[in-house]
Structure 1
C-alpha cells in the first residue's frame, strides 16, 4: 500500500471512530470542523475524496454537529458548498466503503 493511500485510509478510519465515539452536540463540532478542513487540503493522485459522502453520513448520524457545521458554512464558502450537496445516507455509506476498499487494494 502506498503511503498516500495508507494516510488517507487512516483518516477514513479516524472519521468512523469520531462518528462512533463523539457525542452529537456542540462540543464535538470543532473536531469535525478540523477534520473536514484537513481533509479538504488532502490530495490524492488518482482518487476523488469522498467529502460529500462523509458530510451526508454526518447529517444522518450526528444531526446536531451537522447543524453547527451548516451554521459555520454561512461564513465559509467551501463549507457552504459541501453542506449544500448531499446524498442519501445509504448511498453515502456504500460509496464510502467502496472508497476504503480502493485504498486497501
Structure 2
C-alpha cells in the first residue's frame, strides 16, 4: 500500500472512531466539520468516499447532520456535501473495502 492510499485508510479509520466516540448532539458538529475538511484535503489516487461518509453521518448521527445542514447555508462545501447520499449498506461496504 502506498502512502497516499494509507492516508485515506487512516482517515476512514479516524471517521469510524469519530462515529463511535462522539455523541449525536450539536456539540459534535465542529468535530465532524473539521474531519470533513481533513478528508477533502487528502491527496489520493482513489476517489474520496464523500458520499459514503455523508450517508453514515446522516444515518448514525442525524442531529450532527442537521447541524451540518444548518451551517451549509453559509458554507458551499457543506452545502454540496450535505446533498450527497447513497444506500447505507453500500456505503458501509465501500468504506470497509477501502480499509481492507
TM class by shorter-chain length? Answer: over 0.9
What TM-score, normalized by structure 2, do the two folds share? 0.93
Unaligned runs of 5+ in 1: none
Measure the CA separation in 1 of the matches of 2:99 and 2:56: 15
Matched pairs, number: 100
C-alpha contact 1:29 1:68 (8 A) present in aligned 2: yes
List, as ranges, runs of 4+ consecutive aligned residues in structure 1 with deviation greater than 3 Å. none
RMSD of aligned Cα (Å): 1.1
Aligned counterparts of 2:41 and 2:65: Cα–Cα separation in 1: 20
C-alpha deviation, 1:35, in angstroms? 0.4
What is the Cα deviation at residue 64 of structure 1?
A: 0.4
Unpaired runs of 5+ in structure 2? none
Give TM-score scaled by structure 1 length: 0.88
